[in-house]
Amino acid sequence: MTAFRESSPDEARLFNRTRINQLAWTLIVLLCGLVFWLVVALVNAENQRNALASKMCRDQVFKEEIDRSCLLNVKSREHWWQHLWYAMKHTTPQK
């Protein structure tokens, strides 16, 4: 058996693992999380902007003031993707 010892595989280097693949997948997951977070923030900002533009959140007592609790709960469009679509198409302020 000692004659065949050199022909057996080296178990220390049999499963050669690199960290490059793990780094790439970690970056992909982190970037996908960042994109998801930015989309959620953009949808929320567009929802509030549209509610302010259409004057949906005016205070009932003081007509020129804004009801801040309304801004947290308002749904100015039916679906979240409508906010995203509008925000992606209109990147410059309206005149």
Does residue 14 belong to any structural domain of this protein? no
Cβ atoms of 84 and 44 closer than 8 Å: no
Specify the pLDDT at position 3: 65
pLDDT of 16 over the 70 cut: no
Residues 6+ apart with CB under 8 A from 42: 83, 84, 87
Does residue 63 belong to any structural domain of this protein? yes
* pLDDT tens readout for residues 29-61: 999 999 999 999 999 999 999 999 998 988 888
Does residue 62 belong to any structural domain of this protein? yes
H or E segment to which residue 73 belongs: helix 68-73
Does residue 67 belong to any structural domain of this protein? yes
Integer Cα distance of 8 and 38 in angstroms: 53
Does residue 16 belong to any structural domain of this protein? no
* pLDDT tens readout for residues 63-82: 788 888 898 999 999 999 99
Does residue 72 belong to any structural domain of this protein? yes
The residue-averaged pLDDT of 2-21 equals 69
Task: Name the more confident of 48 and 2.
Answer: 48
Cβ atoms of 88 and 38 closer than 8 Å: no
pLDDT of 2 over the 70 cut: no
What percent of the chain is modeled with pLDDT above 70? 82
SS3 30: helix
Does residue 47 belong to any structural domain of this protein? yes
- Domain range for 87: 30-95
| Total count of domains within the chain | 1
CB atoms within 10 A of CB 66: 15
Does residue 9 belong to any structural domain of this protein? no
Instruction: Tell the residue number behind the tokens 């997951």, with chain if given.
Output: 29
In degrees and rounded to multiples of 5, residue 32 shows phi and psi of -65, -40
